[in-house]
Structure 1
């Protein structure tokens, strides 16, 4: 089906009327210049994808939900654990991680984390925009930042944490392939790397696998996306 695709927070069902956000209304009426009756697609991460049509006025457009195009289906992917980054680098990470199928964005505070806070609403907007473009039905969960030790202790017992260590480890693809049926989480450190204490903590914990992304030292966002790309390739192979 042609037409733009929008992520909305509202419940979706045939016959409902959804009010777009102000930026969405501007995009539909001022940028795309859609008129009444123009088709589009809506999703919310819960109810599948729906055909809808623009209605109302140019000043106050509404979206009439018509019929379901795709039912909601699971889209399993790894969780991405990362130390918060600065500004546009963090927004890029949220966008591309969504495209590569991350199921959750989990910010962790390490001893060398330079940015202890993040704008969760902005991250959600970045993820929603990426999901609109890549035909994804789900949205990654975005967790509040918390200390690394606390996050590791609270993770589900059946989750394998893939600790991406710049100092070496088994190849990520090899380790992930050996745990093909497990829930996976990727852990990427801050720009300054993990401290010796944090490395010792991770080495002692069950369910943590030390992995390598190759010989090159990568920036944090590059490492995160490289790891997600490797796992994405394994899933679609």
Structure 2
């Protein structure tokens, strides 16, 4: 068997290729035997034929082009050929949010991952409606978003925690971007430019907003930037996209 190449150039990368997250270690000639669910996806959903190629990533070893080798109908076997992209670091951006219900939470998690969140932290506030959070479903949505959007570093998905407990454990050097509908409507992009160079946490509240005691508690923390997202009241899932887009724009503007 010929020795595989070590790495492809960016110009050779096919952004239309199917991507699949696996937990296995990836490397030259590494053989990946998929479980029944992922074998079904490879064989019956995307219909990858023997000899066909797919991109694999695991959040540790970069992205690899793999070929499907002969195997049974219920077990797809893949072999790594060439590394396409080196592993990137997880963004130092926490997205902190009051959980929503079902489909809207799915959407919010997917969009947060697409927008560059490195850590997803559900916090329980006084106006949070759902009493339970399906963390495994959140992780599945994060994987799906990473597969579809060319992301190499999967975000960490934290267990739910109370707002008070999370705030007490927040690192002193992490700027907290508190998106508050009651804040003055100024220029959020200009306010963010000075804060985006270090570690960030972006906080979006529940549908009913934060209560007065929570708002006071957040505002008293040193290193908190209280920010308006504009003159309109946004749904929490919409606010997630707006806030993270502002952060990305501020980072791009700041060089």
Out of 60, 65, 90, the position equivalent to 1:46 is 60
Instruction: Select between 196-205 and 171-180 the one with higher mean Cα deviation.
Output: 171-180
Matched residue, 2:78:
63
Gaps of 5+ in 1: none
Q: Is the 8 A contact 1:172 1:227 kept in 2?
A: no
1:146 to 161, 165, 171: 161
- 2:245 corresponding residue in structure 1: 229
- The answer on whether the counterparts of 2:36 and 2:74 sit within 8 Å (CA) in structure 1 is no
Structure 2 residue matching 1:73: 3-state secondary structure:
coil
Where do 1:60-209 residues align within 5 Å? 60-76=75-91, 78-169=93-184, 170-209=186-225
Deviation at 1:174, TM superposition (A): 2.1
Superposed CA deviations along residues 105-133 of structure 1, whole A, max 9, x for unmatched, are: 11001111111321111111111111111
SS at 2:216 equivalent:
helix
Supply the distance in 1 between the matched residues of 2:187 and 2:78 (Cα, whole angstroms): 48
Residues 189 and 249 of structure 2 are in contact (CA less than 8 Å); yes or no, is this contact kept in structure 1?
Answer: no
Per-residue CA distance 1:64-119 (angstroms, 9 max, x = gap): 12221111122525211000100000000111111111111110011111113211
**1:233 Cα deviation (Å)?**
2.3
Runs (5+) with no aligned partner, structure 2: 1-12
Separation in 2, partners of 1:162, 1:221: 16
Farther off after superposition, 5-14 or 70-79: 70-79
Give 3-state SS (helix, strand or coil) of 1:161's partner: strand
Superposed CA RMSD: 1.5
Q: SS at 1:216's partner residue?
A: coil
Count of residue pairs brought into register by the alignment: 237
The alpha carbon displacement at 1:222 in A equals 0.7
In the alignment, is the contact (CA less than 8 A) between 2:32 and 2:79 conserved in 1? Answer: yes
List, as ranges, runs of 4+ consecutive aligned residues in structure 1 with deviation greater than 4 Å: none
CA distance in 2, matches of 1:168, 1:43: 41
Q: Taking structure 1 as the reference length, what is the TM-score of the superposition?
A: 0.95
Once the 2 structures are TM-superposed, how far is the Cα of residue 11 of structure 1 from its aligned partner?
1.5
Contact 1:159–1:182 (CA under 8 A) maintained in structure 2: yes
